[in-house]
Amino acid sequence: MSKSLKIAIVAVVFIALVIWNYTYKQTIDTYFSNYTSTTTTLRDLKDTLQALKYATEESILFQYYNNDRINEKFLSLQKMFKVLESSAIYEKRYYDQTRVKLQQLEDAVRQKRALTEKLFELNARVKNSLSYLSSQIYQLDPFDKRYSQDVMKLLNYFYQVKNTLEYDQQRARELAKVLKGYSFEQKEKKLFHKLLQVHTDTLLKQLPEYIKTIAQSVSDREQKLVDETIAAYVKNSAHVRKNLNIQVFLIVLFSILGLAVILYFIFETEREKHTIMRLQKEY
Amino acid sequence: MRIGVMLLLFCAFVYATEVFAPIEEVQTYDKAKVRLRQKLFYDPLLSKDKTLSCFSCHNVYGAERKPVSDGVDGAKGTFNSPSVFNAKFNFYQFWDARAKDLHEQLDGPIHSDVEMASSAELIEKRLKNSREYVELFAKVYGKPPSYALLKDAIVAFEKTLVTPALFDAYLKGEKALTPEQKKGLEIFKSYGCVSCHNGKNLGGNSLQEFGVVIPRKFDDNTTGKVLKVPSLRNVTQTAPYFHDGSEENLSEAVRKMGYHNLGTILSEEEIAHIIAFLKTLEGRLPATWTPDE
């Protein structure tokens, strides 16, 4: 083999290995940076969902609440989904499972948003009527004991329902019937009773839906879906890592082969050199 | 341990009960950008027949003194024009909350048949034919005019339309309210107005039906439907009230809200106090509002 051919082969092997190594480093860097940012975003998503749950619970617990706080959490979630949409999950075919889970999660968050909007509505209605009834206790006529007691019983029932989140249709109907049975002649009392009844009717109508909406709004379904998405992502990423491992194996294999070729050429050249030297002596 | 828990609960209570949040004035402006943005907001080339600009329906404190706005070819809008001031703090845009942000909102009036009845292509063509706009867009964006950039410019302009008021200074502990205004705030909170009108904009962050406790019928098809809770900032300047602009008088509007949505009959004195409080939400006109010619 001619000297220039040997040099050319060595150079090609060397350049190929350098390029391959560089490409591999780039791939692995991109992979780990994507992996870190995606898992961080997914964890942030879970934290935000948890914070959203707390905020929702606070909004139920306190008489009045700043709804901006809850809306801001939904905006943060939206931003995180946008980040994930531009990640490798939506580019590479290996992440099919993760993609499906992520879409399920996005749908679940969308449903939660609609539920929270409903909760805002019901929260305001229920709390306003409850505080109206509570404020009217002071207006009750002390001489009309039975009426006062029935109003108190009803109010007590409503607070129990709100605190325990359990609605008893039968009891609600009985109490409402008792209150409906009253009638007043005096104009002021008539108006007082009418407004009281309007609020009672509002509460009777809204409470079952309110309780149902609360239960759905504070469920951990989305957090579980995030866990499933993370698990799917780790599983799908293992497939990518397997490919990277094969690449490492091939790089090492070809490096050894390249080294063998170079060693072969060195020995071959040495042997040729010795042959030439021996022939020169003999000559 | 017990003291720690009590302190934590107290902190949580104090934090959670703050139902309002102050807004800050937008301080920094890029003159070239503001000039382009203002020009677009005031320019009627956005409408099909070049008769209407954004300003046509958002003129007095960013709103309009008409129940519903006039569109091209004598058409009439469906809802009362809401104020563009502080609109960036709303989590829903339009009365029916069909847009989630200002970018999405902007498409509405431009394309609506009863408003500007225009199109992205037509506007883009007109902008590209204007030497002044080509120069301004190149200066601000380094690109030729396009519908996407126009939207970006108008939204950026709207984001400067912020009106901090006395109430914000009060929330920050910088200024005091008069006893009457304080009483109004107290009533506003204790009667439950605050359950819907809360947050930075005292509204704009939830949807509610008009007539929650005592139903109210409307001539349009909105009876029993949920609509965006409007912001109360500058409410003293943005009559007529309600989504159909059916109420000219603020006292009457407060009375009706109290009756239909809170199920209570407010006295004249209470209404006066509430209005005194609402006046604390009236901010200065934003620096960018007046056209800079």
- Interface check for A65 against chain B (CB to CB < 8 A): the answer is yes
CB distance A67–B198 less than 8 Å? Answer: yes
- The residue ranges of chain A whose pLDDT is under 50 are none
Identity of the residue in A66, A128, A199 whose CB atom sits nearest the CB atom of B21 = A66
Inter-residue long-range contacts of A103-112, CB under 8 Å, 24+ positions, other chains counted: A104/A225, A105/A45, A105/A222, A105/A225, A105/A226, A105/A229, A106/A81, A108/A221, A108/A222, A108/A225, A109/A49, A109/A74, A109/A77, A109/A81, A109/A222, A112/A52, A112/A217, A112/A222
Q: Which of residues 9-48 of A touch B (CB under 8 A)?
A: none
- Interface check for B231 against chain A (CB to CB < 8 A): the answer is no
CB distance B189–A64 less than 8 Å? Answer: yes
> What residues of B are in contact with residue A199 (Cβ under 8 Å)?
213, 263
B83 φ/ψ angles, rounded to the nearest 5 degrees: -70, 140
CB distance A64–B194 less than 8 Å? Answer: yes
> What residues of B are in contact with residue A202 (Cβ under 8 Å)?
212-213, 263
Please compute the mean of the pLDDT values over residues B77-82 and round it to a whole number: 94
pLDDT at B277 (0 to 100): 98
- When pLDDT is cut at 50, 70 and 90, the band that residue B221 belongs to is confident
Average pLDDT of chain B, as a whole number: 91
The pTM of the whole model exceeds 0.95? no
- Interface check for A131 against chain B (CB to CB < 8 A): the answer is yes
- Interface check for B114 against chain A (CB to CB < 8 A): the answer is no
Q: Which two tokens stand for residue A65?
A: 């609440």
B115 given a catalytic annotation: yes
For the stretch B32-77, pLDDT in tens is 788 898 899 999 999 999 999 999 999 999 999 999 999 999 999 9
- Interface check for B188 against chain A (CB to CB < 8 A): the answer is no
Roughly what angle, to the nearest 10 degrees, separates helices A67-85 and A96-136? 170
pLDDT at B16 (0 to 100): 47
pLDDT at A10 (0 to 100): 84
pLDDT at B92 > cutoff 90: yes
- Interface check for B200 against chain A (CB to CB < 8 A): the answer is yes
Rounded to 5 degrees, what angle do the CA atoms B70, B82, B261 make?
Answer: 120
Three-state DSSP string of B190-203: HCCHHHCCCECCCC
Interface test with B, best of A68, A116, A123, A138 (most B CBs within 10 A): A68
Chain A: residue nearest B263 by CA? A195
CB distance A202–B212 less than 8 Å? Answer: yes
Where are any strands of DSSP class E within chain B?
207-209, 226-228
pLDDT at B175 > cutoff 90: yes
Q: Which amino acid is at A1?
A: M
First to last CA, chain B: 65
- Interface check for A124 against chain B (CB to CB < 8 A): the answer is yes
pLDDT at B25 (0 to 100): 84
CB distance A123–B19 less than 8 Å? Answer: no
The size of chain B, in residues, is: 293
pLDDT at B5 > cutoff 60: no
pLDDT at B29 (0 to 100): 72
Q: What is the largest CA-CA distance in chain A?
A: 144
Closest CA–CA distance from residue B89 to any residue of chain A (Å): 9
Q: Which two tokens stand for residue A3?
A: 């000297």
pLDDT at B3 > cutoff 70: no
Q: Percent of chain B scored above 90 by pLDDT?
A: 82
- Interface check for A152 against chain B (CB to CB < 8 A): the answer is no
What are the C-alpha distances in Å from A191 to residues A120, A126, B265?
Answer: 29, 21, 10
Identity of the residue in A64, A67, A195 whose CB atom sits nearest the CB atom of B206 = A67
- When pLDDT is cut at 50, 70 and 90, the band that residue B219 belongs to is confident
Closest CA–CA distance from residue A193 to any residue of chain B (Å): 12
> What residues of B are in contact with residue A75 (Cβ under 8 Å)?
91
Q: What is the largest CA-CA distance in chain B?
A: 73
What is the ipTM for the molecules in this complex? 0.90
* SS3 state at A174: helix
Query: How far is B189 from B170, CA to CA, in rounded Å?
Result: 16
- When pLDDT is cut at 50, 70 and 90, the band that residue B18 belongs to is confident
Interface test with A, best of B195, B197, B231, B257 (most A CBs within 10 A): B195
Identity of the residue in A63, A75, A124 whose CB atom sits nearest the CB atom of B196 = A124
Query: How far is B67 from B63, CA to CA, in rounded Å?
Result: 11
CB distance A64–B265 less than 8 Å? Answer: no
Q: Are B210 and B222 in contact (CB under 8 A)?
A: yes
Q: Are B21 and B274 in contact (CB under 8 A)?
A: no
pLDDT at B190 > cutoff 90: yes
> What residues of A are in contact with residue B19 (Cβ under 8 Å)?
64-66
pLDDT at B17 (0 to 100): 53
- Interface check for B18 against chain A (CB to CB < 8 A): the answer is yes
CB distance A202–B206 less than 8 Å? Answer: no
Q: Which two tokens stand for residue A134?
A: 């509570």
pLDDT at B247 (0 to 100): 95
- Interface check for B91 against chain A (CB to CB < 8 A): the answer is yes
Beta bridge partners of B207: B228
CB distance A66–B207 less than 8 Å? Answer: no
Q: Which amino acid is at B246?
A: S
- Interface check for A71 against chain B (CB to CB < 8 A): the answer is yes
- Interface check for B263 against chain A (CB to CB < 8 A): the answer is yes
Identity of the residue in B16, B207, B214 whose CB atom sits nearest the CB atom of A62 = B16
Identity of the residue in B18, B199, B208 whose CB atom sits nearest the CB atom of A124 = B208
> Which residue of the set B24, B25, B115, B209 is catalytic?
B115
pLDDT at B4 (0 to 100): 57
Chain B: residue nearest A199 by CA? B213
Closest CA–CA distance from residue A222 to any residue of chain B (Å): 22
pLDDT at B223 > cutoff 90: no
- Say if residue A12 is exposed, middle or buried (CB neighbours under 10 Å; 0-12, 13-18, 19+): exposed
Residue A177, Cβ neighbours under 10 Å: how many?
A: 9
CB distance A128–B195 less than 8 Å? Answer: yes
pLDDT at A140 (0 to 100): 86
